[in-house]
Amino acid sequence: MSDVTTLEPEILRAVAGAQDEAALEAVRVGALGKSGSVSALLKTLGGMTPDERKEKGPLINGLKDRVTAAIAARREALKGAALDARLNTETVDVTLPVRESPPEIGRIHPVSQVIEELTTIFADMGFSVAEGPDIETDDLNFTKLNFPEGHPAREMHDTFYFNPKPDGSRMLLRTHTSPVQIRTMLAQKPPIRVIIPGRTYRSDSDQTHTPMFHQVEGLVIDKGSHLGHMKWILQEFCRAFFEVDHVNMRFRPSFFPFTEPSLEVDIQCRRDKGEIRFGEGDDWLEILGCGMVHPNVLKNCGLDPDEYQGFAWGMGIDRIAMLKYGIADLRQFFEADVRWLSHYGFRPLDFPTLAGGLSG
Ligand code: DAH
């Protein structure tokens, strides 16, 4: 049975020489497949005499069994080798630091953080949040706030105007959050207790001014609200916001068309090697404007100044963020530099709370 004897070493050599599973499969098909060499031998059994079949049957079946076993063994060996090769390329260096997951890499911008902090503080005092559009009418940004036409206070705002409409009126980018005082008084009846954080715009740019900046306005209207209430609110706010036991504040007379009397507020601080401390020292830093809402403003909103009175304030958010977190240049706030943000930003899941500490 020369075929069986010559075929066997030939096939076994091919099996041993197969370098991967695909090559081995080709050898299997060539031997055991439908028209494979071993299958061809098996087919010859059908045309044999019983005696021939008795002699050659075991030889040919033995060949088939040995080839099948050899292929199975080689397949296992190749699988093992492929796995070893993969594991070699996939080594894990356990000394490497753990990579942070996306929610840990992300950062909250200091302005967003400070808005969260101050809404938390004012919400605790019973204030709700009001909002208005960035694109405002001249009437709400100026006229209803008691800025007469042609009054020099209008010029001080470096306003960005849009092109005039056919009727001559001009829209503008709001220069302060104060128009939302008007919107609030027109929309709801006193008692009113709101804060209004938002974007504001003026044509101005240097280390402490950017054309877009943020303010938070406060407005309280009721029958007996007075400056004493306002001083307490602002003092409590500063203590909570700057996270100190005591802040010295100085209220200076000032002028705003929409308040009478008008005041500016400074907080006492000490500057020390680029660091700033609050509640001590001999420097004063201006942080906000405020006053009693002007009777004309109340009238413009349909409120009777003999029945209602109240106070308002406006504070620069970016300014207090720079103070609290020691950021020297305001322009960096809006440069969208991720290196800056990863240094000055806040972890997204560390929400500011009064109980847990505002700045974490
Ligand atoms: N709107 C003023 C500004 O941007 C700030 C301000 C002053 C707001 C006094 C007030 C206020 O509500 O009472 O300069």
Express each pLDDT in 208-256 by its tens digit: 789 999 999 999 999 999 999 999 999 999 999 998 888 889 999 999 9
Among 41, 57, 89, residue at a domain's last position: 89
Ligand 1 within 6 A of CB of 197: no
Question: Is 244 domain-assigned?
Answer: yes
Instruction: Supply the pLDDT for residue 1.
Output: 45
Both 153 and 235 in a single domain? yes
Query: Is residue 301 predicted with pLDDT exceeding 80?
Result: yes
Contact 10, 68 (CB under 8 A): no
Q: Given ligand 1 and candidates 178, 201, 234, 255, which is best to mutate, with the most ligand atoms within 8 Å of its CB?
A: 178
CA 61 to chain centre: 71
The letter for the amino acid at 205 is S
349 within a domain of the structure (yes/no): no
Alpha-carbon distance of 120 to 299, in angstroms, equals 32
The structure tokens 């560390």 sit at: 350
Q: Is 194 in contact with 127 (CB distance < 8 Å)? A: yes
Token reading at 222: 């009721």
**Residue 78 sits in the same domain as residue 111:** no
CATH number at residue 317: 3.30.930.10
Q: How many Cα atoms occupy the beta-carbon half-sphere of 322 within 13 Å?
A: 21
Q: Is the pLDDT of residue 157 over 70?
A: yes
Q: What is the CB-side half-sphere exposure of residue 112 using CA atoms within 13 A?
A: 12
Q: Are residues 114 and 81 in the same domain?
A: no
**Is 314 a pocket residue for ligand 1 (Cβ < 6 Å)?**
yes
Q: Are 262 and 335 found together in one domain?
A: yes
Is the separation of the CB atoms in 158 and 122 below 8 Å? no
Number of domains in the chain: 2
pLDDT digits (tens, 9 = 90+) for 25-53: 999 999 999 999 999 999 998 889 999 88
Query: Is 101 within a domain?
Result: no
What is the mean pLDDT of the segment spanning 307-333? 91
Q: Are 178 and 319 part of one and the same domain?
A: yes
The answer to the question of residue 29 being in a domain is yes
Q: Is the domain of 111 the same as that of 11?
A: no
179 in the same domain as 144: yes
Taking CA atoms only, the protein residue closest to ligand 1 atom 2 is 314
Residue 199 domain boundaries? 106-344
Report if pTM > 0.75.
Answer: no
